[in-house]
Each structure stands twice: as structure tokens, then as C-alpha cells.
């Protein structure tokens, strides 16, 4: 296979980082680009959520730009280049898919995932705790999901949803009874963590669920802004409530029409 556009892109990044290239690009470091990596990844997810393939193609390009920039910086510092990144990834994929590239033959996804975790553990013998390897840079909600999944894999799990729901109610009671800010913050965190477990048990991605709710709230709030007949700050609670219900109904109707179309 030949990928001339990818090779051309790699060369472009190299030129941009050279002494005859762009001053801004030359100034960038791994640390200065951290926010960009996260931002571009989230924008790609936005494109996936909206099912906009044109937008997704552009955003995947922006994610690739971050990978190439970091690889170029590492190359200049004598650590590795993009080819070594690709080589390591290829080796890892082949090693973790013995049912495709090796002797094991199975179509059972549970067996595949269990084997993936086993092989991953063999690759990283320095990890002694089940909790090792959790990113410290991802969102707290994503970390909570990861922590919950890791604990469950070794058997730390509620027997049923009823037990978990009782735990959630207990956490709410402890929050209500908390007296100091520190205690309230701690108990509120416990509520969130318990809710993440409820999402996991129902095969719900808590991060995506919250993104969906955020998007829904923003749409309804924008609709309220459009319909408000006086400055929003002057609305009474009753007016807010009435406007919110109207906005909610209209947005739902618009989405239904769009879905039918």
C-alpha cells in the first residue's frame, strides 16, 4: 500500500518545525501541546456524535496533526519518530489479537477481551495493582468509569441493581447530613461515583450520557432565549418554569420532525 498524502503531510510537519518554517510551530513542546491533543480528540467525538462525516474527516486530520507534531518533536530530541510509533502500535495489535494472527481461534468477544487484558498485563509487569495505569489527565468522570471497570474485573461488584440503588440513596443521605464544605464535597463525589457504577451496570457510557444532557440543556436554553419577551434576568421563577416547558416541548417536536425527515 502506498500513502503519498500521508508521506507529504509528514514532510510538511518537518518543514514547519525547521529553521525555515513557522516560528509558532518551532516553539511548541510536548507540554505546550497537551491541551490541543485533548481538545482535538473531543472535537472528533463531537463530529461522531452528530454523524457529520465531512466534519469527522477534518477533525481526524487535526488529531493526526497532534500525533505527527509530537512524533516530530520526539524525533528532533532523539527519542523516536512516527515510523517507530507505527511499528510499536502494529506489534501491540498483532500481539493482542492472537485469535486473528496466532493459534487461538474464537469469535467470543468476552474471551477476546479477557485475553486482551491478560496479554496487556504481561506487557506491563511493572503494574502491581489493578488500579495501575489509570490516566491522571483524563476527566474525573472518565477516570471513575475506568476505576469502576477495573474493580469489577477482579470481582468487586454489587450483586444486583437494588443494592447499588440503596447505596446511591445512602450517599444522598450522607450528603444532606454533611455539615462542612469538605464533607459535602466528599459526599457529593461519592454520589457521582455511585452513579457512574449505575451507568456501567446498564452498559451506559457516563461521559457520553453527560455530554448528551449538556447538549440537550444548551438547545433548550437557546430556545428560551429566542422566545423570551423580556430580558432573561427579569423573569420570575414561574416565568422561567413556563418558558422552560415551552422550550422543551418545541425542541422535542423539532427533533421528531428532523428524525422523521
The DSSP output letter for 251 is H
Comparing 226 with 121, the larger pLDDT belongs to: 226
What are the residue boundaries of the structural domains of the chain, listed by start?
A: 4-80, 140-204, 208-260
The DSSP output letter for 229 is S
pTM of the model: 0.68
Identify whether the C-beta of residue 168 lies closer than 8 Å to the C-beta of residue 202. no
Domain 140-204: CATH superfamily is MazG-like (1.10.287.1080)
Could you check whether 4-80 and 140-204 share the same CATH topology? Answer: yes
Q: Is 138 helix (H, G, I), strand (E, B) or coil?
A: coil
Residue 252, phi-psi category: left (phi > 0), alpha (psi -120 to 50), beta (remainder): alpha
Q: Note every long-range contact of 16-20, with CB atoms under 8 Å and residues 24 or more positions apart, other chains counting.
A: 17/69, 17/72, 17/73, 17/76
Name the band, by pLDDT with cuts 50, 70 and 90, for residue 136.
confident
Q: pLDDT by residue (tens digit) across 28-73?
A: 999 999 999 999 999 999 999 889 999 999 999 999 999 999 999 9
| The CATH number, out of the four listed (3.50.50.100, 1.10.287.1080, 2.60.40.2580, 3.40.190.10), of the domain defined by the range 4-80 | 1.10.287.1080
Q: pLDDT by residue (tens digit) across 175-221?
A: 999 999 999 999 999 999 999 999 999 999 999 999 999 999 999 99
- Core vs surface per residue 128-161: b (16+ CB within 10 A) or e: eeeeeeeeeeeeebbbbbbbbebeeeeeeebeee
Amino acid at each position: 500500500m502506498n500513502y503519498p498524502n500521508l508521506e507529504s503531510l509528514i514532510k510538511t510537519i518537518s518543514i514547519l518545525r525547521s529553521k525555515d518554517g513557522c516560528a509558532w510551530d518551532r516553539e511548541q513542546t510536548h507540554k505546550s501541546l497537551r491541551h490541543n491533543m485533548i481538545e482535538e480528540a473531543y472535537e472528533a467525538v463531537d463530529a461522531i456524535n452528530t454523524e457529520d462525516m465531512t466534519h469527522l474527516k477534518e477533525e481526524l486530520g487535526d488529531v493526526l496533526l497532534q500525533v505527527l507534531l509530537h512524533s516530530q518533536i520526539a524525533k528532533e530530541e532523539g527519542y523516536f519518530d512516527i515510523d517507530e510509533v507505527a511499528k510499536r502500535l502494529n506489534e501491540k495489535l498483532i500481539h493482542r489479537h492472537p485469535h486473528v494472527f496466532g493459534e487461538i481461534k474464537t469469535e467470543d468477544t468476552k474471551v477476546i477481551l479477557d485475553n486482551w487484558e491478560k496479554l496487556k498485563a504481561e506487557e506491563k509487569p511493572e503494574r502491581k495493582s489493578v488500579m495501575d495505569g489509570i490516566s491522571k489527565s483524563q476527566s474525573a468522570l472518565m477516570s471513575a468509569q475506568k476505576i469502576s471497570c477495573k474493580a469489577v474485573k477482579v470481582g468487586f461488584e454489587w450483586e444486583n441493581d437494588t443494592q447499588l440503588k440503596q447505596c446511591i440513596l445512602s450517599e444522598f443521605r450522607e450528603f444532606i447530613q454533611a455539615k462542612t464544605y469538605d464533607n459535602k464535597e466528599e459526599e457529593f463525589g461519592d454520589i457521582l461515583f455511585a452513579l457512574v457504577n449505575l451507568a456501567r451496570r446498564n452498559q451506559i457510557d457516563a461521559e457520553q450520557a453527560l455530554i448528551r444532557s449538556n447538549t440537550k440543556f444548551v438547545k433548550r436554553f437557546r430556545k428560551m432565549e429566542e422566545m423570551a419577551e423580556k430580558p432573561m434576568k427579569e423573569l420570575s421563577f414561574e416565568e422561567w418554569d413556563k418558558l422552560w416547558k415551552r422550550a422543551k416541548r418545541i425542541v422535542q417536536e423539532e427533533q421528531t420532525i428532523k428524525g422523521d425527515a
